[in-house]
Chains A and B, each alone.
Chain A
Amino acid sequence: MLPVVKLVAQRIALGVLLLFATSILIFVGTLILPGDVAQAILGQSATPQSLANLREEMGLNDPAWLRYFQWLGGVLQGDLGTSLSNGRDIATQIGARLGNTLFLAFWAAIVAVPLAIFLGLLAVRYRDRWPDKLISGFTLASISLPEFFLGYVLIFFFAVKWRWFPSVATIYDSMSFGQKLDAIVLPAAVLTLVILAHMMRMTRAAILNVMQSAYIETAELKGLTTFDVIRKHAFPNAIAPIVNVVMLNLAYLVVGVVVVEVVFVYPGMGQYLVDHVSKRDVPVVQACGLIFAAVYIGLNMTADIVSILANPRLRHPK
């Protein structure tokens, strides 16, 4: 077991290092502007005096590396700073919104993951026949459609024409669990469709890859039916790549959720980020960017760790 522990520990260390480097990149990304944050907030018509005051107030006269470490130190203690546009604490504002976003992503994942695996298996079972072709056609359409298109099509038909679901996914604390679920049906459906295609295609590829192994040929020659071959021999070996696929697509949800929240006016992290990008509220953008990146890196790391644990072949690198 020792080499496994070592590999996993290495991967976690790499993830932490990556997160650290990412925080530098996000910080530097907001430094490369013409003028500075104070100029961006006050606009071109600002007087030199008010600019100087704001710079002093925000600590912009300190060197960049010092501000970076002050920011990072704050983040590590859970202090994300205060918002420039309304002067409130960012951490408390983000808390509830992060919960809402995770709630939405969770339900999308609950529906999408089993469905994608089932359809991926179906595509392999009926390879090159109509179910497979239908599924690959759907995949092509889905990667070509922008997320907001799916969102508005669903709103147009399900919320406006047929009035089955609300068109705006407003959520507040006093709502019951059932009401919340009802409110997020449409956004969750859009997210499901967005990741379903990728997940299906990758599941199909993962299983087909396994299907070309020698032991599958043996099983076929033994006279097992195709479905039994998949169920007993291919699927157990394909679990590792499939879990990998699922994790990668959950990471993809992180991006999809930004657009979908704007479409449905859902009070989550994505909406919050987009609002504050247009207000040029740099501390909020940095905090949100860092959280999104951390979730993304975390999911990718989990995917790698699961592959290491599930596939003994990966434990012995050349």
Chain B
Amino acid sequence: MKNIPLAALIGLFFTGLYFLAAILAPLLAPYGMAQIVGDVWEPSSSRHWLGTDSIGRDLLSRMIYGGRTTIFIATAATLLSFFTGSVLGLIAAVIGGWVDQLLSRFIDLIMSIPTLIFALVVLSVMPVTIPILILVMGLLDSTRVFRLARAVAVDINVMDFVEAAKLRGEGRIWVIFREILPNALSPLVAEMGLRFIFAVLFVSTLSFLGLGVQPPQADWGGIVKENKDGIVYGIPAALIPAVAIATLAISVNLVADWVLNRTTSLKGGRG
């Protein structure tokens, strides 16, 4: 662990900071999430470090609670997409034949519609709640994980140790989870960072469009939406959550890059 490059260290530091703030939100936030404590759009002061928002709530508190919501939804969606995507991908690769064809063509079909557009179509008839958001985002994103997992697993599936396990008479479940999954894990973990960023940007975009997390619940995209009218008066409140989204995304990217480089060098340059 000594040779972590500076960029990855910075990334790890900020990623850790954001996650910690998300977990400890109720302890860190100086005011309540929906508590009105001041005037509209107060500038930053010693009482309100980031000023107040469009109806006089403390912006720092909203940012901390908002980060909690955004990070929670993104993490849950990423985990769901990894679970569904990698299980289906591995199954498709190991069983092959018509199961593989059916799954792959279906995934191709879903990916032929832009993710945001498909999410909007589904959300137009679903009640917009947090579990539904996680479900929609996680399932739509699992298509990309599926492709990666399947591609990696198809390679591993023809290796000698897998053949040996099959000849030994191990069942498919054993082959998938004990032989292929451990070997496919490192490229999948590196991909996880990128999917997490995508989920953060996606949920923020949906909330910004008014179709994600609903007020008074705070989340970063929603805070931008609530404060966007201030921009034309020169009040930068809407830019603060956007900066938070950007720094979180860049930090995770830096960590993911480092993990990816590490795993590719371990495998002799094979991505």
Q: A145 and B246: CB pair below 8 A?
A: yes
Q: Is the CB of B112 within 8 A of A297?
A: yes
Q: Which of B88-96, B174-182, B203-211 contacts A (4 or more CB under 8 A)?
A: B203-211
Which of chain A's residues have a CB closer than 8 A to the CB of B108? 18
Q: Is the CB of B124 within 8 A of A280?
A: yes
Bound together, the chains give a CA A293 to CA B117 distance in angstroms of 8
Give the A-B contact count at a CB cut-off of 8 A: 151
Shortest CB-to-CB span from A42 to chain B, Å, is 14
Q: How far is the CB of B240 from chain A (nearest CB, A)?
A: 11
CB distance from A280 to the nearest CB of B (A): 6
From residue 226 to 271 of chain B, which have CB atoms closer than 8 A to chain A?
228, 231-234, 236, 238-239, 242-243, 245-246, 249-250, 253
Rounded to whole Å, the gap between the CB of A279 and the closest CB of chain B is 9
| Complex CA distance for A156 and B238, rounded to whole angstroms | 10
Tell me whether B224 and A148 are in contact (CB under 8 A).
yes
A37 and B125 within 8 A (CB): yes
Q: Which residues of B contact A143 (CB under 8 A)?
A: 197, 249, 253
A37→B118 CA distance, assembly (Å): 18
CB of B17 within 8 Å of the partner chain: no
A273 touches B120 (CB 8 A): yes
The reply to whether B113 and A22 form a contact with Cβ atoms under 8 Å apart is yes
Establish whether residues A152 and B118, one from each chain, have CB atoms under 8 Å apart when the complex forms.
no
A147 touches B112 (CB 8 A): no
B205 touches which of A146, A153, A159 (Cβ 8 Å): A146
B-facing residues in A3-24 (Cβ within 8 Å): 18, 21-22
Given known contacts A25-B109, A274-B211, A167 and B125 CB-to-CB distance under 8 angstroms: no
Query: How long is the Cα–Cα vector from A300 to B112 in the complex, in angstroms?
Result: 9
Cβ contacts under 8 Å, B130 to chain A? none
Contact of A289 among B117, B209, B211 (CB under 8 A): B117
Closest B residue to A293 using CB positions: B113
- Contact partner of B118 among A34, A274, A289, CB < 8 A? A289
Partner of A274, one of B120, B201, B246: B120
Q: B40 interface residue, CB < 8 Å from A?
A: no
- A30-B124, A276-B124, A280-B125 given as contacts; is B209 within 8 A of A254 (CB)? no
Nearest residue, chain B, Cβ from A279: B124
**CB proximity of A235 to chain B, nearest CB, Å:** 26
Say if the beta carbon of A216 comes within 8 Å of chain B. no
CB-CB < 8 A to B115: which residues of A?
A: 255
CA of A195 to CA of B226, assembled, Å? 27
Is B169 interfacial (CB 8 A cutoff)? no
Residues on A with C-beta less than 8 A from B253 are 140, 143-144
Asked if B127 is an interface residue, CB under 8 A from chain A, the answer is yes
- Indicate if A208 sits at the interface (CB-CB under 8 A): no
**Does B36 belong to the interface (CB within 8 Å)?**
no
Interface residues of A in 143-169 (CB under 8 A from B): 143-149, 152-153, 155-156, 159-161, 167
Question: Which residue of A has the minimal Cβ distance to B110?
Answer: A25
Contacts of A281 in B (CB 8 A): 124
Q: How far is the CA of A233 from the CA of B243 in the complex (A)?
A: 43
Bound CA span A285–B208, Å: 18
B239 and A153 within 8 A (CB): yes
Is A266 located at the chain interface by the 8 A CB criterion?
Answer: no
| Chain A binding surface SS class | helix
| Any B CB within 8 A of the CB of A277 | yes
> In whole angstroms, what is the CA distance A164 to B197 when docked?
33
Residues of A within 8 A of B239 (CB): 149, 152-153, 156
Does A258 have its Cβ within 8 Å of any Cβ on chain B? Answer: yes
The CA-CA distance from A184 to B2 in the complex, in Å, is: 51
Q: Is the CB of A29 within 8 A of B118?
A: yes
Q: How far is the CB of B110 from chain A (nearest CB, A)?
A: 7
Q: Are A33 and B125 in contact (CB under 8 A)?
A: yes
Q: How far, in whole Å, are A258 and B202 apart by their CA atoms in the complex?
A: 13
B116 within 8 A of A: yes
Interface string of A36-53 (1 = CB under 8 A from B): 010010000000000000
Q: Closest residue to A21 on the B side, CB-wise?
A: B109
The answer, yes or no, to whether A214 is at the interface (CB within 8 Å) is no
User: Are A160 and B205 in touch, CB under 8 angstroms?
Assistant: no
A258 to B211, CA, bound (A): 13
Rounded to whole angstroms, the CA-CA distance of A255 and B233 in the bound complex is: 29
The reply on B122 being an interface residue by CB < 8 A is yes
Q: How far is the CA of A167 from the CA of B209 in the complex (A)?
A: 18
A123-149 CB contact bits vs B (8 Å, 1 = yes)?
000000000000000001101111111
Q: Are A32 and B125 in contact (CB under 8 A)?
A: yes
Counting chain A CB atoms within 10 Å of each CB, which of B121, B123, B253 scores highest?
B121
Task: Supply 14 further A-B pairs (C-beta < 8 A) apart from A30-B125, A34-B126.
Answer: A30-B122, A31-B125, A33-B125, A141-B246, A143-B249, A146-B204, A147-B205, A152-B238, A161-B234, A254-B114, A258-B117, A258-B120, A262-B208, A285-B120
**Which residues of B does A touch, CB under 8 Å?**
108-110, 112-118, 120-127, 197, 201, 204-205, 208-211, 221, 224, 228, 231-234, 236, 238-239, 242-243, 245-246, 249-250, 253
The 27 sampled A-B contact pairs (Cβ below 8 Å) are A26-B113, A30-B122, A30-B124, A32-B122, A32-B125, A141-B250, A143-B253, A148-B208, A148-B224, A149-B239, A149-B243, A152-B238, A152-B242, A255-B116, A255-B117, A258-B117, A259-B209, A273-B117, A273-B120, A277-B211, A281-B124, A282-B125, A285-B124, A293-B112, A293-B114, A293-B117, A300-B112
Top 7 nearest A-B pairs (CB, nearest first) are A144-B249, A149-B242, A33-B125, A285-B124, A277-B124, A289-B121, A144-B250
